[in-house]
Each structure stands twice: as C-alpha cells, then as structure tokens.
Amino acid sequence: MSSPAGSEKDLLISNHLHKRYGDESGGVRLCSIVEENQDNRGQHKLSTFFGVIVPCCLSMFSVILFLRMGFIVGQAGMLESLAMVVLAYAIIGLTVLSVCAISTNGAIEGGGAYFMISRALGPEFGGAIGLMFFLANAASSALYIFGIVEALTSFFGENGIYEIGPSGIPSSYGWNYLYGTVILLLCLVVCVVGADIYAKTTFMIFLVVMVSIASVVVSFFAKKPFPVGGEGNLSLPNVSFCNNVSVIQYAGLNGKTVHENLYENYTIDYTNDIKQTFVTVFAVLFNGCTGIMAGANMSGDLKNPSKSIPLGTISACAITFFIYILLIVLITATTPRVLLQCDYSFLVSVNLWGPFVAIGVFASSLSAALSCLIGASRILFALARDDLFGIVLRPINRTTHSGNPLAAVLATWFLVQLMLLANKVSTIAPIVTVFFLFSYAATDLACLALEWASSPNFRPTFKYFTWHTCLLGFLSCITMNFLVNAVYTSVSIAVLIILLVAIHYRVPQSSWGYISQALIFHQVRKYLLMLDVRKEHIKFWRPQIVLMVKNPRTCCQLIDFINSIKKSGLYVLGHVRLGSLAEMPTDILSVHYQHWLNLVDELGVKAFVELTLARSVREGTEQLLRISGLGGMKPNTLVLGFNDNQARQDTFKLVGAFAPRKRTGSKLSAVLHSEKAEDENNVFSECDFFPPPNPDFDVDANGEISVDEYVSIISDALKLQKNVCLARYFDKLNKSVVMSDKSKVHYIDVWPVNFLKPLLSNDSFIQRSASDEQKPSSYFDTTCVFLMQLACILNMTPFWKKRTKLRIFLCVDRSHSNIVTPGDQELEEFLRTVRISAEIKQVELNDITESLSNENNLTIQVPSKPEEGQQGSNGDNLHATQTPVPQVEDKPLYLSRINNLIKSQLSSTAVTFLYLPAPPPRERYEEYLDMLTKLSDDLGPTLFVHGLYHVISTTL
C-alpha cells in the first residue's frame, strides 16, 4: 500500500518538467507563449477596416441587395419588410454580442469562429462545428459563384438585358461550369498570393459596390416617372406574371405608391412558381445577413483581433442595417408593387446608368465568394493544425514562408470546384444557411457556457452582453434553422452528433480546457451543498469505497472488481507515500498524480485518486478515510489487499494495461513520450512509472507493513464507522475465462457464516447466555446482510449479470437433535423479502463439528429463522444457535476442514464472499490474521466482508 518517500525517478521527472515548463508558477512558460504570440502577431498586417469591416459588408450585401430587395418589398410590403430586417438583425446581433465577448476574453488565433468555439467548448464540439462551418463557407463560395454565373447569363445571355451578339453569351451546363471555374480560378489566385492582396482586392471591390449602391440611392431621387417595358425600353422579363401588361409606369417618389406598398401581398414567385409566405421571404432576407463571421474568419491575419473583431463586426452590421432600411423605404416610396413582383432586376431600369447595378452584382458576389474561399481555407488550416482529424488533414498543415496556408487554400479550392458540379443555387443554398446558423448557435452556446460556468478567468472587456442575450441568440438560431429547412436541420443535427462522438474518441484530451468541466464543477458544488447527510435513508444506500493501493501494477483485477461493486457510488483509489513534506524540497505527489489519473483512464474505472504523505501507512489510511470525499459524498467502506507472503504478479501484463499501441494521452504524457525530448533518459512510460513486483516477494525499500499495523488499520476503520473488506487472490481473477467458458454456469458464492467466532475470545464477541434462550433470533446479522448486498450488487452489473449466478450457502448441523436449523423455505422467504435472486445450497457441518472437542461454550454461528419483519442487528450482538466448537489446540484442524469444505464447492466459483469478524484485542492480532489466512488459503478470488450498517430496505 505504500512505497518509498522519494526516488531518482521522481527527481528525474520533476527536473524534466521543470526544464520543459519553467518554474512552478508557470512564469517561464507564460512568457514564452506571450513572446511567441507577439512574434506571430508581427506577421499580421490587416487593420479593422480592411480585415473586418470590408469583408463583413461585402458578404452581407451580395446579390440580395441588388436582385432581391424588390422581391422582399413586393411580397411583404414595407411594414413587414422593416420588421423582417429588424428581426434578422436582432438574431445576428445577439450572436455578434457573443462573438465580441469571446474575442475580447483572450488572444485570438487563426480559425475565427472555429477557434472561439473549440477553445470554449472543447475539441469535440469545436471540431464538429468547425468542420460544418468550413463546409458552409466552401459551399457559400460556390453559391456566390453560381450567383455570378446566373447574373452573367441573365444580363448578357439570350433575351438578356444587355444581350451580346445575336443570341448573347452561350448558356448551358458545360458553359456555366466553365464560367464558374474561371471565376473560382481568379479567387484562387488572390488567395494564393496572400492576405495583403486579398485586402487590397476586397477594398477595391468595396469601393465599386458602394458606388453602385450610391447610384441606386441617387437614382430614386433623380429619376422621374417613366414607363418600364415596351418598345425602346428594357422589356419586362415575365409579362405573364404582370397580367400580360407589357408596360408598367415607374412612379418615382409618390405618397400613393407608399400606401400601396405598405402592407403584404404574397403571391407566386415567378422564378420557382412557389406561393410565398412570411417565412419563405424572411429566409431569403436572412440569407443576406449571414456574413457576420467574415471578419472573424480572418482572425489569424489581423493586427489586433481582440479589438478588430468586435469593433469591425458591429460597424459592418450598423452600415448594412442602415443601407437595407434605406433601400426598403426608397423602394416602397417609388416603385409600383406590380413592377416589384414581375421584375426582380428592376433596379437596372431605375438606375441612372443601368450597368452600375450589373457591376454591383458582380462585384459584391465576387467579393463574397472570395471572402468565403479564404475564410474556409483559414478554418481548414486551423482544423489541420489542431490535429482533430488525424492523418486526413495532416498534409494541409503547411504554410508558405510568409505564413499563408497554401495547402489549405488549394484543398478548399478543389472542394469548391467539385461543388460547382451541382450547378444549382437552390441545391446548396439551404445547406449553407443551416450550417451558418449552427455555427452562430454554437458561438452563442459557447458564450453562454462561459458565463454560466462563472469562471474567474472569463472577464471579457466587451461588457454589453448577458447570459440572457446568449440564450436568446442560441434559441433564435435553432428556431431559424427549422424555419429555413426542417429536414436539412434534422440531418445536420444527426451529422453533428456523429462528429461529436467520433472526435471524442479520436481526441480524448486537449490542452485548451473544457467548459464542460467548469459547468460540472459549478453544478456539483451547488448540489453537494444540497446533499444533506441528515437526510440519508437506507433505501438509497450505496457503497462508497476507498481502495488502498500500494502498487497498482499488482492489483489491476482488484481495482476493476471494486469498480463493479460501487453501484454508482463514490470510488477512491487511495495511496500512501511514506515521508514528510517538511523534509522534501517539493511535493513529489504532484507529479505522481498525473500518472495515477492516466492509470484510471487506462483501466476504464470510474474512480477518483487520493494520494497522501504520512509517516506510516496506518496514519495515511486514517487521513484518507477522514478527508476523502466531500459533504454527503464520504466513503463508508474501506477495502484492503490481503497481507500475506504470496508472490505478486505483474497484472499490467495480464490485463494488457499500457500495452504498446497507438493511443492519445494527456499533454504531460505526450511531453514525457516525445521523440523530440532533449534527453531520452528523462522519458518515462506509465508502465515504467509503477515498478514491477519482485518475482520472489513484493518488498519495497520500506518492506511490507507489519501484521500489527495491518490489523490496526482494520480496527481504526471500524472505529471510524467504516465497513471493511479484505481482498485476497484477485490477481487470479480472469474475467476472460468467465466470458469465454459458456459450457458451465459460474457462481458468486456467499458464505454468511462467522467461521471464526468459536476461535476468538469473548472479548471480541458477546456470547449467548442462558437468559437469551427465549429471545427471538435474527436470520442474519448485519455483516451477513452486508455480504449478500455486495454480492447482489456485483451480480447486477452487466458483465456479471450475464455470466454468473448468485449462490448462498446454508450451513446446517444435524448431528445434535436438539439443534434446530432453518431450511430452504425460510431462507427463500428472507431473500424474496429483500428482493435478492439467488440459488440456495445446503452444506452440512456434521463431520466438522463431530470430530472436534466440545469442552467450551463458544459457538459457530449457524443462522436460525428470523422473526417476521425483522432485519439483522449488530453482528457482534446476534443471538445464534449453539454448536459445539473446538478447543484452542484444535484450531489448525478445524480451519483446515472449513477451508476444505469451501474448496469442495469451488468448481464453478468466480468469486467467494466470506464473513470477516471484527479484530480481537491487540495481543491476538497475529493469531487473527493467521486464522483468516488459513481459512482462505487457495480459495481463489475471495473477499472478506465486515458490515456495520443495515443496507437493505424492504419498503418502497
């Protein structure tokens, strides 16, 4: 249970960690991180305007501004259109607040929304949303290119507004794909050159778009009423939807037109023959507002992302919101509804110079496609850099000398090129919107979780948010998802769950921190305060166990076995290191703790780890029993390995623990196993950390603890009102044999008989007196019931339930006619009352008792029939049937025969539960342990149990 207070290995590991991470305060490591970030930040040159405002504005304008604003006003009217804009910006505004809060809470690196989500919610959620966000940006880039191609064919194709040649530019699947390929290639060239040329290109496009918008606004005031359509004018594209009217009078600024366009008038959309509703029109408008992450995606190329992202994103939202409102009001006041419903490109006719609108459409769509392409490449590079998808994305984790992720750009370009094969906007438009909304919802969720966790390190400089805005933003995005397309949303949720599970098992640990841990801590603290020990009830009793482990390398099967009987209770692996902190330069247990946690993960048990320093194992065990747990979750049972001279086996080899294989460990483990470590002598595996047992006898530098100390630990535990279990031969427990051998039934054997009672003095047990003859007797005492409860719990776990049965042995003695022993029916009635399903097997003690002397009054406890409704009482005060017992000189023979009796029933036994009496006076400790040893010799996996509490309830 203990090991030396210090060793060269401890010092070596400490030196290695000190060398790797710096001093204990983490100052050296923190300084290196800050310097590294400053060096990297020196390569980033984009300002708030060029890196955030321009990309966001261009992404939010796109084709909606020029080709769908008339559609929105014509269908919904001015009032509902304004309400739609306010609602859309309220939804994205809530997300913007969350983005601002997260981005001002620490250093933001490349990856934008993915970086913020993954660092807040952990690798599983971050990786899943990051992949969806990457696909959304890639698909959005293809979508904008489709928009450019459709605008080309609409403006310059056959029957186009600006028809070129006799039949315009050719339009077919092949030609459209070629146009899209050329446009995408142009975007690729800009992205390959780098962020600088991207900023300059988008700024030039931004100027063009703003000039186009300005020309539209000026035209509404400058253009006088005139007829649209007819000879000499641009013809209406869909005369059939205008009641066959080929000429419509443009009204200009007119109060009557305002009144006509004030309310909704939903009709059929001539582009798809679908009757429009508020939801469908709102979905079109909302799709034009989903560019708020365009600036955040450039976080790795910004000079100061923590300042630029919130300032630039809010500014871009304000600019676009104002322009949308202005255009809705001007369109309402100048353009007849029939024109709005029959010609979505009416701005070409209204504009002072029509080509300005075409230029604006091409410029805004090109910039949006470019922004999404470069944003997607940055997200993909961040995913590859974090190694969440292993070898699949590892080749993409490459950059040019200037830091441009060229491999990610090329991979994104190739994916968009494949998406162009769809050749339909309607095919991928809903997917783009759904994926974007999921990323927005995840951002709101990340901020909400950080706020709810109440972590002292979450203190963003942006203060204009609360958990209410985060929650409302999250719910709004999810609601919008289902409004846009319920089917795609449901499928996306299923894909998201699959990705979460896959990444969880692919990347079990990260150094980013887990918001789940902070939330769990916050909630657990609250509920622990509510867990009142004064309200405990027998109905809800469960084992809460401290297993004292000296060297886990010799007891893996026992650790796993105790995990099976904890029944969702507290399970603590306790370990005592001999020594005093006052005599040590540092706390050596701080390094050991990580290895013990890795051991728990490797064995797959649900246990906590508690390590302590003490001058003796007895003192350390008392410390752990007193201080382990918290509030109402305190241990009630102590489990010890058996103190004997048996050779210890290396159970790591038996269970395959830490076997060489590809596995992902903690950051500390990665450091200790790194091939790049400066000194290979400092590299330890977990298997090396726990020393192998000596082939002859497991003796460490301090030797085994003495019998006196060992039994004293049992006695101390009983004084502290803890149940006690002693485990022996569990290194022989082979679950694979139980699993594979299906030819016979395996049993969990319970012997609810105190075989040692006649061998222990009256100092330890109160014997039955003559005055007790007429008192009713209990069927089983507390320890017997506790034995059955633990065995029943074991049999309830999935592995043991499928492969074993519970068997209780009923010991009877028919050698004396005046002794009445209970039969199967009485025991079955008792088991039925306590709801334990078990096979009862009678075993006669005649031969054992008849061959022994009967000169004293000591007794073997043979259960007698219980009084109706009565459960066990304290084991040491139980009334029991009198049976002749051996004298002191007959002990070896008696114990040998009891041992042989138990062994005769072991042919199909997996585990044996035996009664553990309380220790006798201190002068008989060695004798006590010797009797336990002889009683359990060669029985296979055996658990001695002593219980102090009633643990079975017969009530609801």
Terminal Cα distance for the chain, rounded? 41
Do residues 929 and 711 touch, judged by C-beta distance below 8 A? yes
Distance CA 187, CA 180 (A): 11
Tokens 């009485």 sit at which residue? 826
Tokens 């279990």 sit at which residue? 725
Q: Strands, E, within 531-614: which ranges?
A: 545-548, 571-578, 608-614
The tens digit of pLDDT for each residue in 153-181 reads 877 776 666 666 666 678 788 888 898 89
Distance CA 222, CA 225 (A): 10
The tens digit of pLDDT for each residue in 884-933 reads 444 445 678 888 888 999 999 888 899 999 999 999 999 999 999 999 99
Report residue 72 as tokens: 């929105």
Using the predicted structure, report yes or no on whether residue 379 has a pLDDT greater than 80: yes
Report residue 953 as tokens: 């309830």
Distance CA 275, CA 322 (A): 29
Amino acid letter for position 235: S
Distance CA 56, CA 314 (A): 10
The tens digit of pLDDT for each residue in 313-357 reads 999 999 999 999 999 999 998 888 888 888 777 788 788 887 888
Tokens 């990580």 sit at which residue? 594
DSSP conformation letters of 141-170 = HHHHHHHHHHHHHHHHSTT-TT--TTT-S-
Residue 780's nearest CA partner among 845, 832, 831, 824 is: 831
CB neighbour class for 844 (10 Å; exposed up to 12, middle 13-18, buried from 19): middle
Amino acid letter for position 508: P
Using the predicted structure, report yes or no on whether residue 870 has a pLDDT greater than 70: no
Taking every pair of Cα atoms in the chain, the longest distance, rounded to a whole number of angstroms, is: 132
Do residues 89 and 289 touch, judged by C-beta distance below 8 A? yes
Report residue 875 as tokens: 């084991």
What pLDDT does 854 receive?
A: 46
DSSP conformation letters of 743-754 = SS-EEEEEE---
The winner for highest mean pLDDT among 30-39, 76-85, 276-285 is 76-85
pLDDT band at 625 (very low <50, low <70, confident <90, very high): very high
Between 417 and 299, residue with greater pLDDT: 417
Picking from 33-42, 500-509, 744-753, which range would have the lowest pLDDT averaged per residue?
Answer: 33-42
User: What is residue 53's DSSP assignment?
Assistant: I
What pLDDT does 382 receive?
A: 85
What pLDDT does 30 receive?
A: 39
The tens digit of pLDDT for each residue in 395-441 reads 887 777 777 788 888 999 999 998 888 766 666 777 788 888 888 88
Using the predicted structure, report yes or no on whether residue 16 has a pLDDT greater than 70: no
Distance CA 730, CA 942 (A): 7
Radius of gyration of the chain from its Cα atoms, rounded to whole angstroms: 39
Residue 510, SS3 per DSSP? coil
**Phi and psi for 265 in degrees, rounded to 5?**
-155, 80
**What's the mean pLDDT in 747-764?**
74
What pLDDT does 480 receive?
A: 86
Residue 345's nearest CA partner among 63, 110, 20, 542 is: 63
Picking from 73-82, 508-517, 666-675, 848-857, which range would have the lowest pLDDT averaged per residue?
Answer: 666-675
What is the pairing mode between strands 268-269 and 274-275? antiparallel
Q: Which residues pair with 633 in a beta bridge?
A: 630
Distance CA 234, CA 298 (A): 42
Amino acid letter for position 62: S
Amino acid letter for position 563: N
Residue 270, SS3 per DSSP? coil
Distance CA 465, CA 310 (A): 12
Using the predicted structure, report yes or no on whether residue 305 has a pLDDT greater than 60: yes
Distance CA 290, CA 140 (A): 10
Average pLDDT value for the chain: 77
H or E element that contains 513: none
Q: CA quadruple 608, 613, 618, 619: dihedral positive or negative?
A: negative
Distance CA 502, CA 635 (A): 36
The tens digit of pLDDT for each residue in 649-693 reads 888 877 777 765 544 443 333 333 333 333 333 334 566 678 777
What pLDDT does 881 receive?
A: 37
Do residues 708 and 616 touch, judged by C-beta distance below 8 A? no
